[in-house]
Amino acid sequence: MSDNAGITRRALLAGAAGAGVLAPMAGADVGPMAGEGPPPPSPGRAVLLRGGMVLTLDPAQGDYPRADVRLEGSRIVDIAPRIEAGDATVVDVGGCLVIPGFVDTHRHMWQGQLRNLLPDAVLGEYVQRILQEARPAYTPEDVFLGTRLSALGALNAGITTVLDWSHVGTSPAHADAGVAALRDSGIRAIYAYGSGAPGPENAWPGDLARLYREQHRGAEDRLGFALAAGLDPAPWAHARELGLPVSIHVNSTDALLPVAEHLDSQMIYVHGCRLSKAEWRLIADTGGGLSIAGPIEMQMGHGIPPYQQAIDHGVALSLGNDVETSTSGEFFTQMRTAFAVQRMLAQTAAAEGASAPALLGVREILAIATRGGAEVLGLADAVGTLAPGQRADIVVLDPGLLNVAPLNDAYGAVVTAMETANVRDVFVDGQALKWRGRLVGVDLGALQTALARSRASIVRAAGWSGDPLAPFSR
Ligand SMILES: [Zn+2]
């Protein structure tokens, strides 16, 4: 089994290597910054980001109106108003904002080919279309391509860390393909191994041990692992034996109470819109973190996103895009949703005479989107903030474009006005993966050709029309 999986993995990697040319990514804004200026810094060279406005999101560091950031290898080694360049490649980020990369704590990346398929769906239709009709049709190659597309879209939007909630573990080869796609993209990820379509080859959850043994490359690796599971705690033991987190969707009331003794600080809860007070206390007492998918929860009927409940109970709070079948794959929409919903609810409560919580501001929102995600994933000592010793996962934002300029409030610009077009450069582990508005080393033509083939075969197997004006009927 593992030999076959290895062959598949190698074949997938070979097929995806492409020509290694620079090409604009679909959706990347090809504005004045795209393609201009010097080539990206060579891997392995020290880098000095010179003269940016640095929002560290680290409470001890604060903000720098103008500073240099020095990267060596995979880490930030210094942030100061002026650093001598020495041997470093100097990158001029004057006029730009420098922030930690966004951390997306819940996304089903295998569904990349099915983006925007279900804009009007509620949860029941999603389960039918995606999990019952499409998922059984997915081959390992389809998993690879969907995951790779989703990862590249995330990087393009400044998301440098993602938890891939990969409930397409239909066979060991499917799981290997998901892992291979994450590695291939260069994003920092936690591959959360979930069950897929039922069948004789489905080895979830026991295959987690094999996957981890073959794929885990130590603490410095960009790729970590977790188990994506349901409310039955029996499978969680497979993660616990390996010291790995468990992520579960909880969208009911009091379902956590019977499994209280199994909850711990490595739990990553998703949604939580209908949790009881007793469950909130339980999560707070056991130390797990929460991932909220605001747009999806409101569109698809999960309930009201519980930003405030998490804050009130002191539960680590983060954001996740969840399903690109019904929402965008970037984080500006997530931040604006959290900002609007929390303030709407708080001000409604105040207007009705109830005791109202404090309004969240844009600084808190950007902290949730970066540091909050790192805390929920157990990666706060590596990412989510900019500080010496942290991994160099850094996003350079250009506030000089027509949608933002002139810059009046740095956090306000990021949270209320920016979009993917403003994401100029993206570094993961000090390596430039997006440079001057373009993804680095991505052969978009080959990727699009492969994705079109993959999409067509899934649509055919699922029995859909594939017509963008009527996807499910002829
Ligand atoms: Zn989900």
**Whether residue 95 sits in one domain with residue 114:** no
Say yes or no to pLDDT of 48 above 70: yes
What is d(CA 196, CA 185) in angstroms, rounded to the nearest whole number?
A: 22
Whether 143 maps to a domain, the answer reads yes
- Report the separation in Å between the CA atom of 388 and the middle of ligand 1, taken as the mean of its atom positions: 34
Q: What is the pLDDT of residue 43?
A: 85
Whether 467 maps to a domain, the answer reads no
pLDDT digits (tens, 9 = 90+) for 167-212: 999 999 999 999 999 999 999 999 999 999 999 999 999 999 999 9
CATH number at 420 reads 2.30.40.10
With pLDDT > 90 as the criterion, what percentage of the chain qualifies? 90
Whether 10 maps to a domain, the answer reads no
- Report the separation in Å between the CA atom of 331 and the middle of ligand 1, taken as the mean of its atom positions: 16
Instruction: List the domain range (segments joined by +) for residue 73.
Output: 47-100+388-439
- In which band, very low, low, confident or very high, does the pLDDT at 279 lie, cut at 50, 70 and 90? very high
Give the closest residue to 375 by CA, choosing from 325, 316, 416, 334. Answer: 316
Q: What is the pLDDT of residue 371?
A: 98
| Least confident piece of the model among 17-21, 61-65, 265-269 | 17-21
Q: Which strand (E) or helix (H) includes residue 434?
A: strand 431-435
Q: What is the pLDDT of residue 17?
A: 36
What is the tally of structural domains in the chain?
A: 2
- Report the separation in Å between the CA atom of 302 and the middle of ligand 1, taken as the mean of its atom positions: 11
Give the SS3 label for residue 329: coil
**Whether residue 58 sits in one domain with residue 133:** no
pLDDT digits (tens, 9 = 90+) for 338-358: 999 999 999 999 999 989 999
Whether 72 maps to a domain, the answer reads yes
- In which band, very low, low, confident or very high, does the pLDDT at 473 lie, cut at 50, 70 and 90? confident
Distances (CA, A) of 98 to 52, 102, 350: 6, 12, 36
- Report the separation in Å between the CA atom of 291 and the middle of ligand 1, taken as the mean of its atom positions: 9
- Report the separation in Å between the CA atom of 70 and the middle of ligand 1, taken as the mean of its atom positions: 37
**Whether residue 108 sits in one domain with residue 89:** no
**Whether residue 348 sits in one domain with residue 426:** no
Give the SS3 label for residue 78: strand
Residues near ligand 1 ion, CB 5 Å cutoff: 322
- In which band, very low, low, confident or very high, does the pLDDT at 143 lie, cut at 50, 70 and 90? very high
- Report the separation in Å between the CA atom of 166 and the middle of ligand 1, taken as the mean of its atom positions: 9
Whether 138 maps to a domain, the answer reads yes
What is d(CA 224, CA 208) in angstroms, rounded to the nearest whole number?
A: 12
- Report the separation in Å between the CA atom of 247 and the middle of ligand 1, taken as the mean of its atom positions: 10
Whether 18 maps to a domain, the answer reads no
**Whether residue 163 sits in one domain with residue 116:** yes
- In which band, very low, low, confident or very high, does the pLDDT at 219 lie, cut at 50, 70 and 90? confident
Say yes or no to pLDDT of 32 above 70: no
Complete DSSP assignment for 299-313: HHTS-S--HHHHHHH
**Whether residue 113 sits in one domain with residue 94:** no
**Whether residue 434 sits in one domain with residue 313:** no
**Whether residue 411 sits in one domain with residue 329:** no
